[in-house]
Structures are given as structure tokens and as C-alpha cells.
Amino acid sequence: MIENIKSQANKWLSTNYDIETKEQVKELLKPENEKELIESFYKELEFGTGGLRGIMGVGTNRMNIYTVGMATQGFSNYIKNQFSDTKQIKMAIAYDCRNNSRLFAETIANIFSANGFYVYLFEDLRPTPELSFAIRHYRCQGGVVITASHNPKEYNGFKAYWDDGAQLIAPHDKNVITEVRKITEINQIKSEAIKENIEIIGAKIDEIYLNKIKTLSLSPEIISKHNDIKIVYTPIHGTGVNLVPAILKKFGFKNVFTVEEQDKVDGNFPTVISPNPENAEALKMALKKAKSIDAEIVMATDPDADRVGIAVKDNHNEFVLLNGNQTGALLVYYFINKWKEKGFLKGKEYIVKTIVSSDLISKIAEKDSVEYYDVLTGFKYIAEIIRDNEGKKKFIVGGEESYGYLAGEFVRDKDAVMACALIAEVAAWAKSKGKSMFDLLIDIYIEYGFYYEKLENIVKKGKEGAEEIEEMMTNFRENPPKEINGSQVILIKDYESCISNDLQKGKSEKINLPKSNVLQFYLEDGSKISVRPSGTEPKIKFYFSVNSKLKSKSDFEIVKNQLDDKINNILKYFS
């Protein structure tokens, strides 16, 4: 294998590649760098169903102007084929704060223009959801955002979008992959930019986007009475830095404080280990600020501002981080209650969540006869439901446990700019009832059941790691557990074979969703365990969900501890 890898690397020493790249390849070819050489060239960076994501550097398995260029040309070829009757194909491009993001965005803009497309390129970094909005606003045929979301600083990515402002779904995702694979040499890339085909956009579309988000507000009169809520916000060095404070101000909130050190845009994310709002460490500085000013809520968005993590004060007046399921439940509960209050529920409204998200969300919808959809992990599947129902049913709100939320139909990807404003509105609504956000959450548990979830990630890096994860999933399929934590496994859903096996009834049913490498085990005591390899990171994810009745607020700590013990016992089985 090593000889094949060296042969592949030596191709990059040809005159078609720039001098700096060739020097870096020469360095990798030195004997002491063999491991890094293998990781850089052992395969081609795979253009998956969402695009590219990988470590930046030279090589076929790295994010660089050549792998990005080949992906762009393949995408361009497919767009031209699909929109051959369109007089002027238009594409939009956005990028986040990561190192090389601007370089990659300009590379893509040049290639799109060279292919005859008219290009809308953002003047500076912008949130991913604004890219989705721009595609729809300018009536583009597609778009690209350069981001690796919450991955470590070494990563970057290329996310491809279709004309509805959503990420690619079938059949386009697989068909674009086919076209990208046809680009095997960099001389197949059209790179002579047509500069007059590239339009720089910015402040004007920002204002249109923010004004549209403002139309989602359901309680402006309540906000006006409680606009003094103290909010601490951090963009964690990313793209939310300007637009999140702007939308909070537009909604009417007057006490918004930021973390100055993290307002500085920086792709090295110097103040955090990982720019992921799912991690408590990423909110450490914001929490410190919140305690010093006695704030009521803390918000942190990831580098491309499509996901938001929050912290609120608990029963003991101490800040606690809410997980994505809890925040999602609060948003769904608020929206359904306000829509009911305003007479908006006519019987054709719906919400959407993912299969690994809490069943508490569907319980809230069921009680008010609001239709709900369960979709695969990935916001593109939520967007697909919105598109399929457009003009027939009305989308209220939806989201996924990984801190992504959306309301309305004018954006077709998770939107943390929007979510920050709406979460603040929920806080004002709760305050108008003499409650905190945490009180509201406990009310939900008392009414619908105390659903408690935990996510565990096992990281397996590189080629060997990918093989280990594959082996783990194979073992779960060939040797599924019969009992976990003393409770019988009564149902197994395999989304790769699209078969649901009811072990009690001895019956199998087809799962009417696209194939996906996900397994779910349902236990007799109501617990649910979901297992899936991440599509964007070198890890396998375990989602644990347990539930119980909660009779009163005074029982909260006791029941929480019982559920925590149950999850820890389930964890022992899997470890």
C-alpha cells in the first residue's frame, strides 16, 4: 500500500500544482513523515451526501484548493445538466471563520463563474442559515457554504445546497457524488474566472434576513414588558458575532452582553478546546460573565451559527446547561401553545424532529393533535418534509438533539440566529408567568413525562478508527443484545436494512425512510438506545433515553437521580 501512496503523492509534484503545495508534498515523502503521508494520500477525500469535510492540508484525503476545486467542478457539471433550460444559472456562496475559508470560497466563486454561472459571494463571513436564505431570496439554483461546523480547528468543509435552500437529498446527493468522481485530474477544472459574473453581497441581504426572522415573533408585547432580561451571548470566535446581537436587539431585548475575548473572529479558536456548544467547556467564559452580572440566560453558537447551546438557572439559582432535547422541547411547547392561543391551529400544522431526538417532543405535539414527523439525522431531511408539504400544510417548528432548530419556511437549514431570538422570547414568556426557563421545563415534565437523555461519543481517528467503527456496527447487527440493564429488548430498528423487528410479537415491518447506518434498541421499561457512526466526525455516537413520571416539582431531584442511575447502568453494558 505504501508504494501506491507514494506514487499518488508523486503525481502532486507535477507542474500542475503550485510550488508551495509541492514543497509540502516533498516534506511528507520524507521517511519520518510516513504516517502523515498515509493519512494524507491513502484515499480521496470523500464527497459525501452533504459535501466535503476533512483536515486541511496537501493530499487527496485533505481539504485544499485542489480537492475543493474538483468537488466544485463536479457539482457544476451536475447543476448545468439539471438546469439546462435555465437562461442564467445562479449560485450563492458563504463561508465561516475557519482558516482558509475565504480562499476556498473565492476558489469556488471563480470556478462557478468560469462555468458560466452568476455568483453571489458574501463579502465576509456569514452564518450558514443566511446562505440558505440567500439561495431562496435570489432564486439561485444552488449554493455552497465553507464550514466544518463545530469540528476542531484543523478541519474545514464544503456543504452543497439545492435550489430550495436545503442541503442535497436523493437523488441529487448521489448523482452529484457520481459527477464529482468523474473529475480525476485538476486539468478538468474550469478555473478562468469571469469576474463580472461575481457579485459581492452583504449588509442589504443581512437586513432582509433579520427582518424576516422578526416576523416569527409571537409575543412582542411580552418582550416589551420584559426586555430587561440579562442575556450573555458568545459566538465562540465565529459568524454569529454580528447577527445574533442584531436580531436580539431587533426583537427588543436591551440587556445583551457579549464575551469580548470570544467576539474576536479567529479560526484557531484560541479560548476553547473545541468550538462546540454541546461541550460545557466551550461555554465556560460565557458562564463566568453571566455569574458576574447575574444574567438569566447564556447562549453560545458554533462557528457557522447554525447551532446554539444555552444555560439557564436551576432551582438552586445555579447555571445548568440544557441539552438539545430540552431546548427543543421548550421551543415546541412555546410555539404550539402560542399558535393555539392565537387560533393558528387549523388541523394542517406540523412539527418535525429526528429519530434520535427525544420522544418528549412528539408527546407535546400529540396532546394538541399537531402532526409530527420523525426523520433521519440531518437537517436536510427536515427541509425535505417542509418542501414536500409546501402549500399543503404549515410547518411550525422543528429540530434535532444536536442543538439545531428552525421555525418558519424561509430558511431550510438549522438556524441559530433565529433560535437565539426565539429562545430569548421563550424566556420572556416564562417570566411573564412568574417562572424561569427551568421552571417551564419542569412543568413540561410534569405534564408529559420526565424524558432524560444523554449522548456518549467514542472517537476513533484515521483509517484504523473507521475500520473499528464499522466492526462495532457489524457486531451489533450480528449479535444484538437481548437484555440491557435487566430490561428485555423488545424492538430493534435497523435503518440500514429498513426493517423494524418486534421481538415480542415476532413480526417485522418496513421502515419508510431512506437507508442509514443507524440501530435502535427499545427496552421493555421504555428506555431507548440509538447507535450511529457520525457522518462528519471520526466517532460513533450512542444516544440514551430513559423516562419516568414526575408528580411534582419537589420530586424533580429524586427522579432525575433515578434516571441518571439508569442511564449509567445502561452505559456500563455498552462499555
User: pLDDT digit string (tens) for 138-197?
Assistant: 999 999 999 998 888 999 999 999 999 999 998 999 999 999 999 999 999 999 999 999
8 A C-beta contact, residue 399 and residue 390? no
Average pLDDT of the segment spanning 420-441: 97
What CATH number is attached to the domain comprising 226? 3.40.120.10
Examine the domain organization and report whether 348 and 371 are in the same domain: yes
The three-class DSSP label of residue 320 is: strand
8 A C-beta contact, residue 63 and residue 156? yes
Over the stretch 383-400, which tens digit does the pLDDT of each residue have?
999 999 999 999 999 999
In a domain, 36, yes or no: no
Q: Taking the CB of residue 152, how many other CB atoms lie within 10 A of it?
A: 13
Q: 536 falls in which pLDDT band (50, 70, 90)?
A: low
Examine the domain organization and report whether 104 and 188 are in the same domain: yes
Q: Does pLDDT of 246 surpass 90?
A: yes
Cα–Cα distance measured from residue 496 to residue 314, given in angstroms and rounded to the nearest whole number: 40
How far apart are the two ends of the chain, measured CA to CA in Å?
Answer: 33
Q: Which distant-in-sequence residues (6+ apart) come within 8 Å of 490 by Cβ?
A: 502, 503, 504, 522, 523, 524
Among 92, 135, 125, which residue's Cα sits nearest to residue 410? Answer: 135
Q: Which distant-in-sequence residues (6+ apart) come within 8 Å of 556 by Cβ?
A: 315, 442, 445, 550
Average pLDDT of the segment spanning 324-344: 98
- Residue 370 C-beta-side C-alpha neighbours within 13 Å: 27
Average pLDDT of the segment spanning 214-228: 98
Examine the domain organization and report whether 258 and 148 are in the same domain: no
DSSP string computed for 423-457: HHHHHHHHHHTT--HHHHHHHHHHHH-EEEEEEEE
The whole-number pLDDT of residue 172 equals: 94
The whole-number pLDDT of residue 211 equals: 98
Among 570, 495, 567, which residue's Cα sits nearest to residue 535? Answer: 495
Average pLDDT of the segment spanning 531-546: 88
Among 257, 258, 247, 236, which residue's Cα sits nearest to residue 303? Answer: 236
Among 91, 61, 95, which residue's Cα sits nearest to residue 76? Answer: 91
Cα–Cα distance measured from residue 25 to residue 188, given in angstroms and rounded to the nearest whole number: 21
Residue-averaged pLDDT of the chain: 95
The whole-number pLDDT of residue 146 equals: 98
In a domain, 276, yes or no: yes
Three-state SS string across 110-131, please? HHHHHCCCEEEEECCCCCHHHH
* 500 DSSP β-pair partners: 493, 509
pLDDT top residue among 466 and 558: 558
Average pLDDT of the segment spanning 17-26: 95
Examine the domain organization and report whether 119 and 160 are in the same domain: yes
8 A C-beta contact, residue 380 and residue 188? no
Average pLDDT of the segment spanning 211-224: 98
The whole-number pLDDT of residue 408 equals: 97
Instruction: Please tell me whether the peptide bond between 171 and the residue prior to it is cis, using omega within 30 degrees of 0.
Output: yes
The whole-number pLDDT of residue 295 equals: 97
Which DSSP letter does residue 228 get? T
Q: Does pLDDT of 463 surpass 90?
A: no
What is the count of structural domains for the chain? 3
Q: Show the cell assigned to 72.
A: 466544485
Examine the domain organization and report whether 193 and 180 are in the same domain: yes
Which DSSP letter does residue 100 get? T
Examine the domain organization and report whether 219 and 344 are in the same domain: yes
Cα–Cα distance measured from residue 358 to residue 327, given in angstroms and rounded to the nearest whole number: 11
Average pLDDT of the segment spanning 194-210: 98
pLDDT top residue among 50 and 510: 510
Average pLDDT of the segment spanning 455-472: 87
In a domain, 216, yes or no: yes
Cα–Cα distance measured from residue 333 to residue 337, given in angstroms and rounded to the nearest whole number: 6
Hunting for cell 430569548 — which residue is that? 424
Domain that includes residue 550, residue range: 451-574
Examine the domain organization and report whether 222 and 179 are in the same domain: no
The whole-number pLDDT of residue 175 equals: 93
Residue at which a domain ends, from 448, 469, 488: 448
Which DSSP letter does residue 233 get? E
In a domain, 61, yes or no: yes
The whole-number pLDDT of residue 483 equals: 94
Examine the domain organization and report whether 463 and 354 are in the same domain: no
Residue at which a domain ends, from 168, 201, 234: 201
Residue at which a domain ends, from 149, 176, 201: 201
Over the stretch 254-284, which tens digit does the pLDDT of each residue have?
999 999 999 999 999 999 999 999 999 999 9
* 458 DSSP β-pair partners: 540
Tell how many helices (H) and how many strands (E) occur in the chain: 19, 23
Q: Show the cell assigned to 381.
A: 431531511
Pairing of strands 51-55, 319-322: unpaired
Q: Does pLDDT of 35 surpass 80?
A: yes
Examine the domain organization and report whether 169 and 225 are in the same domain: no
Which DSSP letter does residue 348 get? -
Lowest mean per-residue pLDDT among 291-300, 355-364, 491-500, 532-541:
532-541
Q: Does pLDDT of 535 surpass 80?
A: no
Cα–Cα distance measured from residue 307 to residue 406, given in angstroms and rounded to the nearest whole number: 10
Cα–Cα distance measured from residue 57 to residue 52, given in angstroms and rounded to the nearest whole number: 14
Q: Does pLDDT of 221 surpass 70?
A: yes
Cα–Cα distance measured from residue 567 to residue 135, given in angstroms and rounded to the nearest whole number: 43
Rg (CA), the chain: 24
In a domain, 11, yes or no: no
Indicate the angle between helix axes 34-41 and 462-478, nearest 10 degrees. 60
The three-class DSSP label of residue 363 is: helix
Hunting for cell 394542517 — which residue is that? 348
Cα 338 to Cα 170, 190, 330: the distances in Å are 35, 52, 12
In a domain, 463, yes or no: yes
What CATH number is attached to the domain comprising 561? 3.30.310
Examine the domain organization and report whether 215 and 325 are in the same domain: yes
Q: Which residues are catalytic?
A: 149
Which DSSP letter does residue 415 get? -
Examine the domain organization and report whether 402 and 533 are in the same domain: no
In a domain, 248, yes or no: yes
Query: 87 — phi, psi (to 5°)?
Result: -60, -45
User: Residue 216: what residue type?
Assistant: L
Average pLDDT of the segment spanning 5-23: 92
Examine the domain organization and report whether 216 and 292 are in the same domain: yes
8 A C-beta contact, residue 553 and residue 438? no
The whole-number pLDDT of residue 1 equals: 81
In a domain, 37, yes or no: no
